[in-house]
Each structure stands twice: as structure tokens, then as C-alpha cells.
Amino acid sequence: MDAADLLRHDFGTLADLIAAHARRQPGHRAIVQEDRALDYAALDAEMDRVAASLQRDGLRPGATIAICARSSLEYAAVFLGATRAGITAAPLAPDTRPQGLAAMVADADAAILYLDQTVAATLAPVAPAMTIRRVALDGSAAGTPLANWLLPKGSAPKPVAVDPDAAFNIIYSSGTTGAPKGIVMPYSFRWAQLKVFSTLGYGTDAVTLLAIPLYSNMTLSAFLPALGMGATVVLMAKFDAGRYLALAQQHRATHSMLVPVQVQRIMQHPDFDRHDLSSFRTKSCASEPFSAEIKADVLARWPGELFEYYGMTEGGGVCMLDARARPDKLHTVGHPLPGHDMRVIDDEGRELPQGAAGEIVGRSATMMTGYHKLPEKTAEAEWFDPQGRRFIRTGDGGRFDEDGYLILLDRKKDMIISGGLNVYPSDIESVLREHPDVGEAAVVGVPSRRWGETPVAFVVPAPGTAPPADALLEWTNERVGKPQRLAALEVVDKLPRSEIGKILKRNLRDAWIAKGKSP
């Protein structure tokens, strides 16, 4: 059965799709990284070796492995090979602190940790307490070298029947508001997601350039469908705007998944207009607020379509904005995808009418099973409509306009309650970004003796500028409402971000409080 036949089924597996591509186009490049590549025949064979090696070690469907390393061909082969054996993969962020990383490995009940030398150095302070078996993807002394752990070439696993409800992967939340939670996604989630993204033209002539790490669910939402459709994926181990442009031109990239800050840096690169990007069909963007001004710049200067996605790693509903088709909606995150039911509720869980602002909830075929070993937290993330249908709470505030397009307000956790009034940081940030000397801006609520909380801004200057903080503060406060007025503004070199581009507002708030400032 070929890939097209498999995709017509209600359920299937990515491992079977890759096997079908290996039969149909064995020499077609599947994954490329710098000067190395795996074609579909080689990728399929490596997946077999990984799956067979896991079975040799006694791992059966339902077992878990952890992977923590920079993106590489070996990383991809281990991740995908585990799924062929029906084993759950838990990809972990390499930039996590050692105690947090050890805690996630333990929480996942991982039988093996696949890592590289950099991660081994990170884990050094907690290594004596970790008894988990290690396999080094880079062949270093971080563990048993991958080449030694693998069975010989040509090894094949015993076939396994995959339950659609079984865990495909566990993605750990960033932990920006507390301890990371393991988000369990079933095989059915990934199959449904693959079918949704198959409409973006990930055919055998497509080349997807990925500049965000493989532990991110956003990356996987592009990586897995691209391979499922037989495309070529080009991996970047670390993002650099200049290198991204060079790779896009070299490989004639047709697709890419990015976060807004990456798009901004690419558009601002002095050599942007010197690169041939005419091969692009689609750029997709998600994860963080994406300003209308940058979207408009992309439409003007970067060939191909621009799609913005809004959704949660936990799943639920997903909105998509086709920016070129709806330039009048660039201030929104789009309209719910077909089959995605999204609603707005108040603090008491009552559904609100269209146009009213509240918390966004969503339901679709792509929903997490729950948080790993956290039934109470899972229950907190769920909302049920009067018919008993399960929705996932986003924790985001927003409203739908008259055309059904979603306008985001803010994360509930980021909302500032100042003098009893709700203040949305995004409103103040959008005003700040109107100033020509402001490159990036983040607003957080800090404790205030007078107001309970009050907004403070952190600003990264636009290239070639050096705006005085007091002048920016005065300029902003002249343009916002009285409850939104900033108590202080700091000009900083950069904003703290996670590896996938999320601004770590808690870090900004904690650093401010640690300075002993109290506006």
C-alpha cells in the first residue's frame, strides 16, 4: 500500500508512511543537515535498527525513552524509530537547568536517555543520582555511543500493532509559570494533525527548512507531516538569520515553520533582499504574538504564502490566518480550522456570545490525553459544554470578531490587575512597538504598594538607535489609558527567551523584584 492509500484511512502511522516512501522513492532525500543526509531508504532502515535495538533491550509498546540533544540526523532516527516500535518518545529541551532536566527524565519514566556531550555537561551536577542508561547520539563519552548501541545494519524489529490511544510522545511544557508538565499526545493526535497539514503542499517536491528544535511541538507539527508526505526536511541545529537565508537559497526551500522573533530577525537581516527566496510556497508562524506590521512586511518582500497558527501544545482548537488572502485581518490570529470548535467562556465557565472577551477553549481531533501523572492538573485544563463534550482550556484571553476571526488579548497569567482593573500587557506592547526606536517590547506586572500590581516595560532598541528610557516612558504614557500607564521602563540589550522564542516574562518580573524596586 502506498502513502496516498494510507492517508485515506481514518488512522495510520507515520512509520508506515515512511516505509511506503522508502519503497516508492528510496533515493529521495528525507532529512538533510549540513553536508550529511538520509534518503528515505536509509531513514527507514535506521528506524528499523532503532526499533529492533529497543526491543532487544526489553522495551515494549507503552515504554518511554527520553531524548535531549541538539537536532541531528541521529536524533530524528531515534525519535522516529521509537514510534515504529510503539514506544513513547519524550523530547526534552537541552537548555533546561540540570535539576529540572533530571526531574523530567524521572517523571517520564524513561528507560533510556539519548543525549549529546553538551547535555551531559549540563547534567554533571546531578549525574551521580541518575541511574538511567545513556546513549550518546554524537558518539561522545556522554554514554554508550549510538553506533555501538544499535544492532547491525539490516536488523528489523518485530511488527507491533499501535493503539490509536497509546502515547506517541510526551512534550514537556516550558515551565515558565511553574514546574513543567508532561503533555501526553496519542498516536491519533499526530495522525489527525498530519492530515490537517497535508493541505499545505508537503509533496515529494517540497523542501521544508526547520530552524527550531525538534523537542518543540511546533517543530514536530511541520517535521512529521513533511516526512509523512515524502518531502525533504533540512534541519538547523541552531538558528542564525544569515545562515537561514543561505540554506533557504541553497536548498530552494518551499516551506518553513518559524516563530515571530525569527521572522523579525530574518526580515531585518542586511542581506535579506540579496537572497533568492522565490522557491518559497509557504511560511508558517506560531508560538508568540506576531505583529501586523511584520506580517505586512513579509507579504511585501518574501515570496509565497504566510500562514499564522494559534493553538496550544495541549491541543484543542487551532486557528489559522491566511495572511495574503485576508490582509484586513492581520491583527487577528485567524479563523478556526475545519473541524475545530472554539468558544469563549467567562470565569464561571459560562459560554459567552460572539464579540465578548473571555477565555478561549477548543475541541478537535488533536487533543492531549492529559498531563502525565497529573489527573488534577488535567481536570483543570478541561471544560465541558452542556452536551458533555470535552474542550481544552487555553488560558488565553480573546474574542471573535464579526467574521469569526480570533483577536487575542493576553495569557490569563500575564494579565495585570491594577487597582482592581484588568490591564492587558499586549495592549501596551502594541503601543510601544509603534515607536520607531523600539525593536522589541515586553510588559509585565510587578507588585505595587498602591495598586497591587502595576505595569513595567522592558524595551530592546531598534537597530542603530539608543532611545532614552525616560523619553520612551513619557511617550508611551501619553498614548495609553490611565490604568495602563507604565510605572517604569528599562532599556535592555535583549529579552530572555526560551529556545523556541517565547519571552520568559517570569524571568523579567523576578529580576525586577530581586532588585528591590517597588513602584
Q: Is residue 418 pLDDT above 70, yes or no?
A: yes
112 phi/psi in degrees, rounded to 5: -140, 140
Contacts (Cβ under 8 Å, ≥6 apart) of 128: none
- Report the first-to-last Cα separation within the chain, whole angstroms: 67
d(CA 195, CA 130): 39
pLDDT tens digits, one per residue of 19-42: 999 999 999 999 999 999 999 999
Per-residue model confidence (pLDDT) at position 246:
98
Instruction: Return d(Cα 390, Cα 347) in angstroms, integer.
Output: 17
Of the listed ranges 79-88, 90-99, 361-370, the least confidently predicted one is 90-99
Give the model confidence (pLDDT) of 192-250 as tens digits.
998 887 777 888 999 999 999 999 898 999 999 999 999 999 999 889 999 999 999 99
pLDDT of residue 199: 75
The pLDDT mean for the chain works out to 92
Helix (H) or strand (E) holding 75: helix 73-84
- For 311-410, CATH gives 2.30.38.10
pLDDT in the model for residue 176: 42
Q: Round to whole Å and give the CA distance between 324 and 302.
A: 11
What is the residue-wise DSSP string for 98-128? HHHHHHHHHHTTEEEEEE-HHHHHHHTTTGG
Location of C-alpha cell 541553497: 250
Beta bridge partners of 257: 210, 284
- Tallying the residues shown for the chain, one arrives at 519
Give the position of cell 537581516. 269
Tell me the pLDDT tens digit for each residue of 101-123: 999 999 999 999 999 999 999 99
Which regions of 131-190 does DSSP assign to beta strands (E)? 133-136, 144-145, 167-172, 182-186
Q: What is the pTM of this model?
A: 0.84
Among candidate residues 42, 57, 55, the one with its CA nearest the CA of residue 153: 42
Which of 111-120, 379-388, 393-402, 497-506 is least confident? Answer: 497-506
**pLDDT for res 104:** 94
* pLDDT of 319: 96
- With a cut of 60, say whether residue 296 has pLDDT above it: yes
Phi first, then psi: give them for residue 66, nearest 5 degrees: -115, 140
CA dist list (Å): 401 to 33, 259, 324, 357: 43, 25, 19, 10
More confident residue, 397 or 303: 303
Residue 291 is predicted with a pLDDT of: 84
Whether the predicted pLDDT of 380 surpasses 90: yes
Let me know: does 313 contact 370? Beta carbons within 8 Å. no
CB 158 within 8 A of CB 167: no
Domain 415-514 belongs in CATH node 3.30.300.30: yes
Across the chain, which distance is largest between two alpha carbons, in Å? 71
Angle at 29 between CA 26 and CA 30, to 5 degrees: 95
* Structural domain spans, the chain: 3-24+39-186, 311-410, 415-514
Residue type, 160: V
Most confident of 52-66, 214-228, 484-498: 52-66
Architecture of domain 3-24+39-186: 3-Layer(aba) Sandwich (3.40)
CA 412, 221, 376, 388 dihedral sign is positive
Q: Write down the pLDDT at residue 519.
A: 64
Q: Which range, of 125-139, 247-261, 473-487, averages the lowest pLDDT?
A: 473-487
pLDDT at 424 over 90: no
Q: Would you call 493 exposed, middle or buried from its count of C-beta atoms within 10 A (0-12, 13-18, 19+)? A: exposed
CA dist., res. 338 & res. 327, Å (int): 21
